[in-house]
Structure 1
Amino acid sequence: MPESSFDVVSKADRQEVDNALNQTAKKIAQRFDFKDTGAQIRWSGDLGVEIRANSADRTLAVLDVFKEMLIKRGVSLKFLDVGEPKPSGKEFRLAVTIKQGIPTETARRLITLIKDEGPRGVHAQIQGDQLRVSSKKKDDLQAVIALLKAKDLDIALQFTNYR
């Protein structure tokens, strides 16, 4: 009997994040409390978002609007790595990074979790920035998915390539 497997990944849907960013930009352009604050949000590189405003409070307010839009679009806030507002001339900048992939330390913790609390006969291995879980029984794989969903981890997980 061939082994069944699935991959555990942590990847934000870039299109949904882009849509949330564009909605945030529209909203801050329309809202009265952001008038004359120079508030703006835009991409900074491939996985970075830069928020600018004339005060630290305004940058955090734009961040709150961005988080609200991400939640509406179904993107987990665990993907965000938020820095501190830093003064840059007359304005403040806030760097937000979109985290992608499972760090090696977290992957090792997941493997020990699967070995300790998961069903017997389930194997997990690190493959780059994702985790491959395999077993002869599909029911065991379902149990591992339920186990990982039940745990409150510091990263958002998706389960792909279920075979």
Structure 2
Amino acid sequence: MAAKENSFDIVCEVDMQEIDNSLNQARREIETRFDFKGSKSEIKFDGEVITLISDDDFKLKNVIDILESKVIKRGVDVRTLKYGKVEAAAGDTVKQQVNIQQGIESELAKDIVKEIKKSKIKVQASIQGDKVRVAGKNRDDLQAVIQLLKEKEYDIPLQFTNYRSS
């Protein structure tokens, strides 16, 4: 009888419904807050990219603070928000694009695989699209890999999914 193979995936996934809920809450707060009365501040979302617009850098920073507080309240890690540079926009305003990190970029995936190999834990790690699959015979080895990666600080939150035994 062959030994069982166990595996799991390392991913970076964001619940887009929670992002949407966060944005709606942030918009409501901006509409009702006294310090935003008469301000041109707004948050737009096209399903992929968030666009923040405000009167100036100071107000834009306040919009970001509101957005991040709502995102955190909804249980989404703020490291999934990737801010572009602040640009001048129409009507004496400034805008900033915010991308939402979905998936693990190839450079980071390579670093994760390298880190796992360097640990000498008896598992195989392979990059599969925007995720990393880790497979091994021993479940304790898989747990050790998860522990190893949790101790490392990455720029994005990692989740460990699709835990399988075959």
The answer to which of 46-55 and 25-34 deviates more is 46-55
The aligned counterpart of 2:113 is 111
Task: Report the secondary structure of 2:163's partner residue.
Answer: coil
Matches within 5 A, 1:9-158: 9-43=11-45, 45-90=46-91, 91-119=93-121, 121-158=122-159
Q: Compute the RMSD of aligned alpha carbons.
A: 1.1
TM-superposed CA distance for 1:84, in Å, is: 2.4
**Partner of residue 162, structure 1:** 163
Residue of structure 2 in register with 1:4 after alignment: 6
Secondary structure, counterpart of 1:126 in structure 2: strand
Partners of 1:8 and 1:157 within 8 A in 2: yes
Judge which range, 102-111 or 77-86, deviates more: 77-86
CA distance in 2, matches of 1:39, 1:58: 8
User: Amino acid of the residue matched to residue 127 of structure 2?
Assistant: I
Give the distance between the partners of 2:158 and 2:120, measured in 1 at CA.
Answer: 17
Q: TM-score normalized by structure 1?
A: 0.94
What is the CA–CA distance in structure 2 between the aligned matches of 1:156 and 1:136, rounded to whole Å? 26
Contact 1:47 1:99 in 2 (8 A): no
Give the aligned residue type for 1:9.
V
Give me the identity figure in percent: 42
How many residue pairs are counted as aligned between the two chains? 161
4+ runs deviating over 4 angstroms: none
Matched position secondary structure for 1:28: helix
TM-score normalised by structure 2 residue count: 0.93
- Structure 2 counterpart SS, 1:111: helix
